[in-house]
Chains A and B, each alone.
Chain A
Amino acid sequence: MRRYLVRRLLQAVVVLWAAFTVSFIVLFLLPGDSLSIKLGGLEGTATREQIDAVRGANGLDDPIHVQYAHALGDALTGDLGTSAQTGAPVAGTIVDALPQTLQLTGVAMVLAVLGGGGVALAATFTRLRALRQVLLSLPAIGISMPGFWVGLLLVQVVSFQWGLLPAMGNEGWESVVLPALTLALPAGAMVAQVLAKSMTTALAEPYVETARAKGAGRVRIHLRHALRNASLPALTLAAVVSGNVLVESVVVETVFSRAGIGRLTAAAVDNQDVAMVQGVVLLAALVFVLVALVVDLLYPVLDPRVGRAV
């Protein structure tokens, strides 16, 4: 087990390094840079000399390998640099924004798992063919609705017309409801789709027949026997989905005017704020690595056969 953990941690380090390096190269190759954006633009009146002076002072005229070595060295010592746009330290800015996004994505994931799981279980449990068809078609609808559109629709109806919940901001639990619902819809739909499919497969397995022959009730068969087996693929998917939710937060936080990692990302990309983009990329890579690790460690708990293979 320890060797397994060490191997996984080494893998995680490689993933983080790769994410850092690839994003650095991509940002370097883009035309323009953060300082030109901040100081100039066509409407700016900074002279070329002024901009060049600041560029030089910030090391932007150094060759790529020198800039890369600097950035990597700083990152290794925990210094992610300062945002070119705001001048604030990147690490601090991310730490400030992270709780907002964790709150949002956390609520969204809970809603997605409960809602998606509920739909899947209801669809496989019911004996009414029509209801089953309706329930099974819900995930496809959920996945195909763009988050931007769902968000605007919820804002229009629930907030502007009914006046039930605020359309913007980070204050209070009320402000989380609509954006979390928007995020949870496609995520929940994916969970429902995969779980419904693996439930159907599991319910056709011989051990279900055995359980039934032993006199187990439908509820027990469903929740105790089939769900436990069927939840493995759904769990894997949930890991992917929680990454997607982080990505979707870029759109959802903009629509709902929430501060958070998504908004930071959007602004950083717009302004080619290299240090900030890299900070966010590292964070995203870290989240993916951690979630994957947690899921891997959960497998043996759910299915002892997996544990033996490790």
Chain B
Amino acid sequence: MRFSVSAASAPPRRLRRTAGTGAAVAALALLAGACDGAGDKAANSAEGGPPQSGGTLTFALAADPTCLDPQQFGANASLNVGRQIVDSLTDQDAGTGEIKPWLATSWEVDPQATHFTFHLRPGVTFADGAPLDGAAVKANLDGVVALGAKATIAGSYLTGYKGTTVLDATTVRVEFAAPSAQFLQATSTMSLGLLSPATVAKTAEQRCQGDLVGSGPFTLRSYKPNQSVELARRTGYAWGSSLFAHPGEAYLDRLVFKVVPESGVRAGSLESAQVDAISDVQPQDEGRFASGYTVLTRPNPGVVFNLQANVSRPILAEEAVRRAIQKAVNRPELAQTVLTSKYKAATSPLASVTPGWVDLSAQLGYDPEGAKRLLEEAGWKVGSDGVRVKDGRRLSVDVIFAPLFNASQSVLELVQQELRKVGVDLRLRKLAAGEQNQVQNSGDYDFAYYNVTRSDPDILRTLFSTRTVNRLKIASGDLDTVLDDQAQSLDPVQRNAKVAQAQRIVADRAYVIPLFELSQVHGLGPRVHGLSFEASSRLQFHDAWVSS
């Protein structure tokens, strides 16, 4: 962050015009350095002079939000809108992963991480005038549980939820039946963002369609499906997160999201200034915004895009096969050839911006000879068509995937070629969005390709504990113990040690083959300043402003 301060001292307007000079290049390089990795908050706030209040920012989304309620829906488009409407009990520092005060000025957690007591900031109101007090917090948490499967993400944060006790108007205690260290981070997400009790009382469908009142820096003015969402500044907003760059009301008068599904049209709209900023810049369009624009990017925290093994299948039950596949994948090549520099090769099952991440790139190095050796030792001999065979069975596995991310097919095709070089046949099974769950539940697959965004390492427990979904279909064992241990401790040193151990187990036994980190890539026009990512790589517009 020191870098962006030094860039701020240079006059930015001139900087762009004289981009050929050495000083400017150096400054730009520093800026780029600051954009890298986790320290990218407000990457472009340094430009454009002092912030100006007022004006409208128009932002093109790639998809219709479909449902605006952040407690219910997990799509990026809905979360990017929902984040502006709701506040959270806490906030998470995108750089360090630390949990900081927002609506809760302080909190205490018991040593078992089952009791969480929050002290609320007094005087906070929802946009409908209702006070944001202990009773409102309780109504929200109970409401999420009542939503059940309609709030899968928020609901998973409340696994083991026993209840909330309102101790007084500004104090609440949330209790869990089992240790749940992740809950503290969960309170910082928009999925557990707080809605007015009147909103909580509405039906799930009414809330989806925009009958939605929060306490956030913006209020919802209109939602026209497939068209636009309009937000207006909340006047009198005075309870921003301690991580916001400025206190008080948001700078923007109005924030308009337009739904522009075609990526080329999105890029062209930004170039022709019909919108101020766009989401989901596609790799082929990135070059159009090389100069004069800001490409705001940050990897998604959580579990990287990976091939997750179904170890109940005979071939993948063999650890040697899985480990050979782990060695046969050239991750840097994936990131460089199929994707762009905005996407990083995976260095662990967790993305590098996830708290508790450890760099396992040494264990995940490209070693095709080692892979071949492992397979030879395990008795897999090269057959007539180049695919290895053992006991009459070909070393052929499939991977199920849905076209959720545009480049997925190309990524998997490259992995297919790489595995082929060591004698493993990978069959690509493209599924429709709704088919994945069925196939995965039926267990009729070898590898599943996916990623999950979560800025807390507990996502490893959600996915890989045998006590939850048990996607790996492994027997319970030491991985469960490690994952349960990390859920019991909020001490970063203790917890990170367990988290690191869990990452090593998952990578060493090759339960998952990490591939690359998904990134959010947004294009910002020259008018836009101060826009930044929060810790789960969704946008926070409180500090964003437009120059006239």
Contact = CB atoms under 8 A, between A and B. Distances in A.
Chains A and B belong together in one complex: yes
B274 A42 contact: no
A279 to B, nearest CB: 14
Nearest to B462: A45
B516 to A, nearest CB: 15
Nearest to B261: A254
Task: Choose among B209, B225, B226, B228 the residue with the greatest number of A CB atoms under 10 Å from its CB.
Answer: B226
B448 interface: yes
Contacts of B261: 254, 257
Given A37-B434, A257-B259, A43 B404 contact: yes
28 contacts: A31-B438, A37-B434, A39-B149, A40-B436, A40-B437, A41-B436, A43-B452, A46-B149, A46-B152, A47-B468, A50-B155, A53-B148, A53-B149, A82-B205, A86-B208, A87-B203, A87-B204, A87-B205, A88-B209, A160-B271, A166-B274, A168-B260, A169-B227, A254-B262, A257-B259, A257-B260, A257-B261, A259-B259
B481 interface: no
Specify which of A34, A41, A48, A263 lies most central, judged by the most chain B CB atoms within 10 Å of its CB.
Answer: A41
Contact of A160 (B152, B228, B268, B468): B268
Given A87-B205, A267-B226, A255 B436 contact: no
Nearest to A47: B469
Interface residues of A, number: 54
A67 interface: no
Interface in B127-169: 148-150, 152-153, 155-156
Given A37-B434, A45-B156, A47-B468, A93 B225 contact: yes
Interface of B: 60, 64, 66-67, 74, 148-150, 152-153, 155-156, 203-205, 208-209, 224-228, 258-262, 264-265, 268-269, 271-272, 274, 400-402, 404, 431-438, 440-441, 448-453, 462-463, 468-469
Interface string A203-243: 00000000000000000000000000000000000000000
Interface stretch (A18-26, A151-159, A284-292, A302-310): A151-159
Nearest to B471: A42
A124 interface: no
A257 B149 contact: no
Given A93-B225, A155-B268, A39 B433 contact: no
A155 B272 CA distance: 11
Contact of B433 (A51, A96, A159, A271): A271
B152 A45 contact: yes
B266 to A, nearest CB: 9
Interface string A124-166: 0000000000000000000000000000100110011101001
A71 B247 CA distance: 53
A36 interface: yes
Contact of B66 (A41, A42, A85): A85
A155 B265 contact: yes
A87 B433 contact: no
- Which 10 residue pairs are nearest across A and B when measured between Cβ atoms? A32-B434, A87-B205, A42-B450, A37-B434, A40-B437, A50-B149, A259-B227, A259-B226, A46-B152, A160-B268
A93 B66 CA distance: 12
Contacts of A97: 225-226
A134 B410 CA distance: 44
A135 to B, nearest CB: 32
Nearest to B206: A87
Contact of A257 (B67, B148, B262, B452): B262
Interface string A75-102: 0000000100111100001001100000
Contact of B205 (A47, A54, A86): A86
Nearest to B463: A45
A267 B437 CA distance: 19
A48 B473 CA distance: 14
A48 B468 CA distance: 10
Contacts of A42: 400-402, 404, 436-437, 440, 448-450
Interface string A242-277: 000000000000111111100110010011100000
Contacts of B74: 44
B261, B271, B431, B469: residue with the most chain A Cβ atoms closer than 10 Å: B261
Contacts of A254: 261-262
Residue of B67, B149, B208, B402 most packed against chain A (CB within 10 A): B149
Contacts of B225: 86, 88, 93, 96-97, 259
B412 to A, nearest CB: 13
Contact of B265 (A37, A152, A163, A263): A152
A199 interface: no
A272 B209 CA distance: 19
A252 B255 CA distance: 27
A270 B433 contact: yes
B452 A45 contact: yes
Given A31-B432, A86-B208, A45 B469 contact: yes
A33 B434 contact: yes
A267 B269 CA distance: 23
Contacts of B441: 48
A103 interface: no
Contact of B227 (A50, A159, A161, A170): A170
Contacts of B150: 39, 54
Contacts of A36: 434-438
A256 B259 CA distance: 10
Contacts of B204: 87
A167 B438 contact: no
A95 B434 CA distance: 27
Contacts of B259: 257, 259
A152 B400 CA distance: 33
Nearest to B469: A47
Which of the listed residues B152, B204, B274 has the most CB atoms from chain A within 10 Å of its own CB?
Answer: B152
B258 A257 contact: yes
Nearest to A40: B437
A31 B225 CA distance: 27
A152 B260 CA distance: 13
